Amino acid sequence: MKKLKRLRVIFLLLIAAVVMGSPFFWMAISSLKPNAELFSWPPTFVPRHLTLDHYTTALTTRGFERYFLNSAVVSLISMAFNLVFCSLAGYAFARLDFPLKNFLFLLLLSTMMIPVQVTLIPTFLMVKSFPLAGGNNIFGQGGTGLLNTYAGLVVPHIMSVFGVFIMRQFYMQFPRELSEAARIDGAREISIFTRIFLPLGKPAMSALAIFTFTQAWDDFLWPLVVTSDRNMRTLQLGLEVFKNRYTADWGPLMAATTVSILPVILIFVVFQRYFTDTALSSGIK
Amino acid sequence: MLTAFIFISPVLVYNIIFRIAPIFVSLYLSFTKFSGFGSAKLIGLVNYSRIFGDTQFWSAVLRTLQFSVEVLPLNMLLSLLLALLVNTGLKGMSVFRAIYYLPVVTPMVAASMIWLWLYDPQIGILNFLLSLFNIPPQNFLRSPATAMHSIVAMRVWRGAGWNMLIYLAGLQGISRNLYEAAAIDGASAFKRFLKITLPLLRPVHIYVLIVGLISTLQSFTEMYVMTSGGPLESTTTVGLLIYRAAFDYMDMGYASAMSFILGLIIMTLSVVSFTWRREKEVAE
């Protein structure tokens, strides 16, 4: 009886794995089939021929390398900013006392409710009229400001409130005595943070790094709005090259899509545990 | 105390400038006519009275709500089922958990491209699978009747893994003793699920619901990539309409007014769900 139940669970797990995983399987298989086979009917589930032609086409398409580079730069910069500032703020909200602490934390949290559409236009205008950049004068007029620059691209991603939340949840779990002992010994607040809590924060910071990297890598709307120069577009916009309104160059498109997912999948596989922790800590406490 | 303020000030200042101040800028712009160049011209409530009679806007609102109403229950059901399966604690479970979570880390554009290919009416694999069951080929994203449902399916697939983890955390927070006591009293597994698991997960349901509402009501990317809002506007969400108004027609005043109404809708629905949670808790 017990064994039967186990078999049933495994059966369901497998079905769910097929449903959730098959789109990836199909993407990968399609990217490796030569065109003749890709467009044959009925489709083949095990390809008769394998080829890397579509990858060659995708990677040598004008601009593709540049899109990839742009995405990597934007995601890494955003990640670095988040690591520094979210851990500082998360630590302060978790372990230091200061007036208005709860109010300020709730204020930050409540910004997560604001739809991106509300901040989109004002942020665009701020980036466009940044003083003394992109041909702008001191009043931010006359030029393009930070449009089509890395600085403009990273702006919405550099200090994630969710990141602060992750770090706060993490630092809350340590006993009060840990900081008290150091304070009695006369350690300064800043060294309590850098000597004790920063090293302890590694698991949460890994999760934060992964989370903020993928957030920036994933973004589509903001790069769409803030870049018009082809050289500054990111990979998410670059995929559009392989597709027009009604059809697409399916082989190269699937190859390019695979390439666009690979970095996040690699990070995910390596740091899987931290990914899981991020989601779990965002739950209700 | 000074240290604390130094620690929080970058994040605080940044969020005031880029999250909170824009609300007021948006509100101001919504009372103006503004093309994005030159200066904004105050025109009072003209944008709002225009929205009032704009059937395109209100049908986009209804469509966006419909999208949420379809995605959220399906997503919650699927995530809960996955969480229950993963919670059985068999060996090698982390592999299954990883597979279910993979769509979550997949960028929205990539997910949209993959499903565009699955849905292709001529040579897509889904129509082939349907043909095995003698179901005639569907137009999926190319027909106004099915386009939105097709995007819903993609969203449910992509979002289930995230909520699975949240449900998993909830399930692991329920004491084993409760189940054991109920089992001794002779309650069936199904009854235990109905009487213990589901009610105790209520805070999780509400959390998942609120986060889901906030994100589905802003949907933009998947529609932009998969259908550009078509066919016949059948997948034009409010997010897409706002983008077009602001950046295709350079009508930023009107776009701001629309985004403000969207913000109000999202806030109202979130607050309603949240107080509903509070009231239920107080009542018990």
Cβ of residue B96 closer than 8 Å to a chain A Cβ: yes
pLDDT in tens, B131-170: 999 999 899 999 999 999 999 999 999 999 999 989 998 8
- Helix then strand then coil, % of chain B, to nearest 5: 75, 0, 25
CB A108 to CB B203 under 8 A? no
Query: For residue B83, is pLDDT > 70?
Result: yes
- In chain A, residues with a C-beta closer than 8 Å to the C-beta of B260 are 118
Cβ of residue A243 closer than 8 Å to a chain B Cβ: yes
CA B143, distance to chain mean position in Å, is: 23
DSSP classification of residue B42:
E
pLDDT averaged over consecutive 10-residue blocks of chain A (285 residues)? 81 94 95 90 86 92 91 95 94 90 92 91 92 77 85 93 91 84 82 87 85 92 93 93 82 94 86 64 48
Nearest CA in chain A to B91: A10
Task: Give exposure, A225-235, as e/b (b: 16+ Cβ within 10 Å).
Answer: bbbeeeebbbb
| Helix intervals (H) in B43-133 | 46-52, 55-86, 93-105, 108-118, 125-132
Nearest to A16 among B20, B82, B204 (CB): B82
The H-or-E segment that residue A12 falls in is helix A2-32
Beta bridge partners of B32: B42
Q: In chain B, what percentage of residues exceed pLDDT 90?
A: 67
Round to whole Å and give the CA distance between A38 and A253. 12
- Around Cβ A94, how many Cβ atoms within 10 Å? 18
Q: What's the pLDDT at B31?
A: 95
Plot region of B186 (φ>0 → left; ψ -120 to 50 → alpha; else → beta)? left
Nearest to A220 among B12, B25, B108 (CB): B108
Nearest to B213 by CA among B268, B282, B162, B253: B268
Average model confidence (pLDDT) for chain B? 91
CA A107, distance to chain mean position in Å, is: 24
Q: What's the pLDDT at A285?
A: 38
The residue to which tokens 């095995």 are assigned: B132
- Around Cβ B193, how many Cβ atoms within 10 Å? 14
- Contact predicate B224/B243, CB 8 Å: yes
CA B106, distance to chain mean position in Å, is: 16
Interface pTM (ipTM) of the complex? 0.90
φ, ψ of residue B250 to 5 degrees: the values are 50, 40
Q: Rounded to 5 degrees, what angle do the CA atoms B60, B64, B70 make?
A: 140
DSSP classification of residue A186:
T
Nearest to B114 among A23, A114, A279 (CB): A23
